[in-house]
Amino acid sequence: MPSFNSFTGNNDNNNVNYDYSAPVSETNLLTKVFGVMFLSLLVTAGVSYGLGYLFSYFFNSGNDAGLDVLFGLMGISSIGLLVMAFIMPMVMARGKHSLLPSYIIYLAFMSILLSTIYVEFEMSMIIFAFGATSVVFGIMALMGYLSKGSLRGTSMLVGGLFFGVIILSLINIFRQSDQISWIVSFAMFAIILFITMLDVRRIKDIANSGMKNSYNLVLYGSFMLYLDFINIFLRLLMYIARFADKK
């Protein structure tokens, strides 16, 4: 994924300027990024809940045709998310076109995939996981915002953890150990938390770098934090569900 520092807000081929006239301020950029992220989460929650209701309705009514359509949409969305994960950084790095269409498509794909959680998990678990995610995400975002100096050490730690997770995952293919599976899972969760902190710090650094504010900059920052929030949410939801099953 391209570095945030390499992104510019150039004009597109139709001379449509996506830059504001004034350099971005720290408060202005962070407010816009978190605001767009919050709206994106609301849209995702609403759309995924509606599709989850359809899943339950079709399943309980025995409507196989409706289920086939929804499962087909999920397959398309899975592939679409992978494709958009490459397209969005490319669009941002080139700075020639608005990121908004790609962003909307990504939200649509993610909303479709997340609709299954309303079928697989109880609503109380989902609400509790969302609340816990908000707290955890807020703590990591605050740590990223208040961090001082270079975060190279933290970045190296994340890289080391990721490398270790890959090695343990390969080993566990042959060992099939539940203990190793839990270690891998918690290590991945730690990586997600550190990445959240690093992403907030990157946005703060951009705000203080003198780069001009742009719609694409706000959207891409929101995309990064939105993805961090979703990853934390899914991990916590899985842990909560497993803990509830053991009771």
Q: How many angstroms separate the CA atoms of 131 and 45, rounded?
A: 13
Q: How many angstroms separate the CA atoms of 10 and 145, rounded?
A: 27
pLDDT digits (tens, 9 = 90+) for 69-94: 777 887 888 898 888 888 888 888 77
Cβ atoms of residues 10 and 96 within 8 Å: yes
pTM: 0.81
Q: How many angstroms separate the CA atoms of 24 and 85, rounded?
A: 26
**Residue 41: pLDDT over 80:** yes
pLDDT digits (tens, 9 = 90+) for 173-232: 887 777 878 888 888 898 999 999 999 988 888 877 665 557 888 898 999 999 999 999
Give the single-character DSSP code of 151. Answer: -
